[in-house]
Amino acid sequence: MSIRQLELEVMRYDPEQDQEPHFQSYTVPCEEDWAILDAINYVKENLDTTLAYRWSCHMMVCGSCGMMINGEPSLTCKTFVRDLPDKVRVEPLANFPIERDLVVVLDDVMEKLERAKPYIIRKEPPPEDQEYTQSRSALHKFKQYTMCVNCMCCYSACPQYALDSSFIGPAVLTLAHRYNLDSRDQGKSDRLDILADHDGVWECSFVGACSEVCPKSVDPAAAIQQMKVDGAIEWWKQKLPGGKS
Which chain residues interact with other proteins by CB under 8 A?
Answer: 13, 15-16, 18, 20-21, 71-72, 94-95, 97-99, 105, 136-137, 140-141, 157, 159, 162-163, 205-209, 211-212, 219, 221-222, 225-226, 228-229
Residue 141 CA, chain-centre distance (Å), reads 20
Give the CA dihedral 112, 113, 116, 118, nearest 10 degrees: 180
Q: What phi, psi does 167 have (nearest 5°)?
A: -60, 130
Residue 21 or 118: the one with the smaller Cβ distance to other proteins is 21
Reported residue count of the chain is: 245
Specify whether the CB–CB gap between 104 and 92 falls below 8 A: yes
CB of 9 to other proteins, least distance (A): 16
Task: For other proteins, give the closer residue by CB, 78 or 100.
Answer: 100
The shares of helix, strand and coil residues in the chain, as percent rounded to the nearest 5, are: 40, 15, 45
Q: From its phi and psi, is residue 5 left (phi > 0), alpha (psi between -120 and 50) or beta?
A: beta
Q: How many CB atoms lie within 10 A of CB 204?
A: 23
Q: Least separation, in Å, of the C-beta of 97 and other proteins?
A: 4
Q: In DSSP terms, which residues pair with 69 in a beta bridge?
A: 72, 90
Q: DSSP H helical segments within the chain, as ranges?
A: 36-42, 107-115, 136-140, 153-157, 159-163, 170-181, 188-196, 209-213, 220-239
CB of 145 to other proteins, least distance (A): 12
Least Cβ distance, residue 152 to other proteins (angstroms): 15
Closer residue to other proteins in complex, CB, 42/179: 179
The b-or-e profile of 6-17 (16+ CB within 10 A means b, else e) is bebebbbbeeee
Q: Nearer to other proteins by C-beta: 3 or 229?
A: 229
The answer to whether 72 touches 156, Cβ cutoff 8 Å, is no
Q: Which is nearer to other proteins, 16 or 128 (CB)?
A: 16
Q: Cβ of residue 148: shortest distance to other proteins, in angstroms? A: 16
Instruction: Pick between residue 28 and residue 181 the one whose CB is nearest to other proteins.
Output: 181
CB of 141 to other proteins, least distance (A): 6
Q: How far is the CB of 135 from other proteins (least distance, A)?
A: 9
**Between 61 and 163, CB nearer to other proteins:** 163
